[in-house]
Structure 1
Amino acid sequence: MSPKYPDLAGAPVFITGGGSGIGAALVEGFLRQGARVAFCDILPSDDFADRMGEETGARPLFLKADVTDNTALTGALAAAAEAHGPLKVLVNNAANDQRADPDAVDEDFWDWSLSINLKAQFFAAQAAARQMREAGGGRIVNYASIAHALGAPEIAPYTAAKAGVTGMTRSLARAWGRDGIRVNAIAPGLVVTERQKELWLTEEGIENHISRQALPLLIEAEHLVGPTLFLASEASAAIAGQVLVVDGGVVINA
């Protein structure tokens, strides 16, 4: 149901964590805009890429990479540019909200969580910005979360990282805006994916959260596609350094 954005047709796009969940929905959404899509994921995703090729008529380029390995991450971004040309759009989607009691968090867990949820976004953006300057500008969409504003107690490292994404987005928007690079973020609320349901979401928990929303809506991965396309397109040409909250109206100032 997303509107068409003509400037995305043929645009080189890179999505981190694009093999499943929100990332997979974003890959499909950009393919249906006619973009040249590359994505990375830590898990094998060739079957998904093949299916997208059959369903949309354009197979995305899958590049296996662990975003916490900066060499692998920047290598994937370089490979995407070699295949499709310098990036016009980066979507920093890869994340992991692994639960942990704050009293049980050790240094290794902290470093891992910050690495995947914050550090990887910065270095992907840095590498993408170099390509975008070559292309005359571009758009970066980082994925934050309302979790840090809620103060969710069981994901302290994750909430710290996502608060960092919000601040980083605003800094990079000012740093790179005069290069024609717009940097914004999306802060989802509770997005119900198969992974979330398998690991920790219960029907009661979902219902309780929906009761806090202005909209009695079960938010799924597809609901993030339209807002991301908007920020990635020239329809949002005057928007930079902003955090677009997509939470069904929990009304959190992210």
Structure 2
Amino acid sequence: MPSLDLFSLSGRRALITGASRGIGLTLARGLSEAGAEVILNGRHRSALEAAQGDLPQARIAAFDVTDQAAVIEGIDAIEREMGPIDILINNAGIQRRAPLEDFARADWDALIETNVSAVFFTAQAAARHMIRRGAGKIINICSVQSELARPNIAPYTATKGAVRNLTRGMATDWAKHGLQVNGLAPGYFATEMNAALVADAEFTGWLQRRTPAARWGQVEELVGAAVFLASDASSFVNGHMLMVDGGISISL
């Protein structure tokens, strides 16, 4: 196979969770441009339909990834009505910030439910179909906080560390069935979730000094890594977490 063809996603079908905006929608657009048929997932059909206006060739599947029964039903319906899911990107996630000593139980539960349980529910449901076919790609969105900590986000850091090790465990269990399960770990990106930090001149100044690349990442810069992990180019890459962070995780 010619080397560039290894990155083609032609004929593949990809489900992206949390895809109505931000990183999820950007990755969906990128995989579509690489040839994949993409399916946008989120809780709210209206938001998905709005995103579909930006990516008209995409299909939509509205279900709540924190509800295991809804996930199983939703993925089974995709497999039955749209076709096999070849690629799953577990992108749905939330952030909560507060001093650790004051962190609310409700916020802790919400983080665990969305950032960890949903990854398990969705990957497990998709993998059951992939295992029968002997092939599949699962990409779990990790974070630079899978490795590093900052004040006021310890519970978020705990969830993203869990996703990194869950990714390793999935690869350990499912590689023998022909699946590749890897993590994609963004550093600091200018997203809606980080809008307050982007607008904070003091924080942005700190980030520019702390990051070797000396800037915020742009979400489009995640696409190449996602296409690599979704394609045949990564056929012997398993349980890996690929950092896309401007070097912040390797520099003091």
Instruction: Please report the TM-score for the alignment, with normalisation by the length of structure 2.
Output: 0.90
Letter in 1 for 2:183: A
Equivalent position SS for 1:153: coil
CA distance in 2, matches of 1:12, 1:158: 30
Match of 1:22 in 2: 23
Aligned to 1:189: 187
Question: 2:131 & 2:8 partners in 1: Cα distance?
Answer: 17
Question: What is the SS of the residue equivalent to 1:114?
Answer: helix
Instruction: Return the offset for 1:148.
Output: 4.0
How far 1:14 sits from its partner (Å)? 0.6
For each residue in 1:104-137, what CA deviation from the matched residue of structure 2 results, as whole angstroms up to 9, or x when unmatched? 2233221111110011101111111111123321
Gap change, CA 1:50 and 1:79, over 3 Å in 2: farther
Name the amino acid aligned to 1:15: I
SS in 2 for 1:45: helix
Secondary structure of the 2:185 match is: strand
Contact 1:18–1:24 (CA<8 Å) still a contact in 2?
A: yes
CA distance in 2, matches of 1:199, 1:214: 18
Q: CA deviation at 1:75?
A: 2.5
39-48 or 24-33, which moves further after superposition? 39-48
1:10 maps onto 2:16 in alignment: no
> What does residue 140 of structure 2 align with?
142
1:37 paired with 2:35, answer: no
Q: Is the 8 A contact 1:61 1:80 kept in 2?
A: no
| Worse-matched range after superposition: 12-21 or 187-196 | 187-196
Secondary structure of 1:251's match? Answer: helix
Corresponding position: 1:61 with 2:62: no
Question: Which residue number in structure 2 is paired with residue 121 of structure 1?
Answer: 119
Q: Where does residue 52 of structure 1 map in the other structure?
A: 55
Q: Over residues 191-225 of structure 1, what are the superposed CA-to-partner deviations in whole Å (9 max), with x where a residue is unaligned?
A: 11134215775133123212211213430211111
Identity %: 35
Give the corresponding residue for 1:219: 217
- On the 8 A contact 1:184/1:242 being kept in 2, the answer is yes
Is the contact between residue 65 and residue 121 of structure 2 (CA under 8 Å) also seen in structure 1?
no
What is the RMSD computed on CA atoms of the aligned residues?
Answer: 2.0
Instruction: Tell me the amino acid that sits aligned with residue 194 of structure 2.
Output: Q
Residues 19 and 40, structure 2, Cα contact 8 Å, conserved in 1:
yes
Distance, in Å, in 2 between the alignment partners of 1:31 and 1:149 is 30
Name 2:233's counterpart in structure 1: 235
Q: Which residue of 2 aligns with 1:105?
A: 103
Is 149-158 or 10-19 further displaced after alignment?
Answer: 149-158
Q: CA deviation at 1:68?
A: 1.5
Structure-1 separation of matches of 2:169 and 2:71: 22
Structure 1 spans left out of the alignment, 5+ residues: 54-58
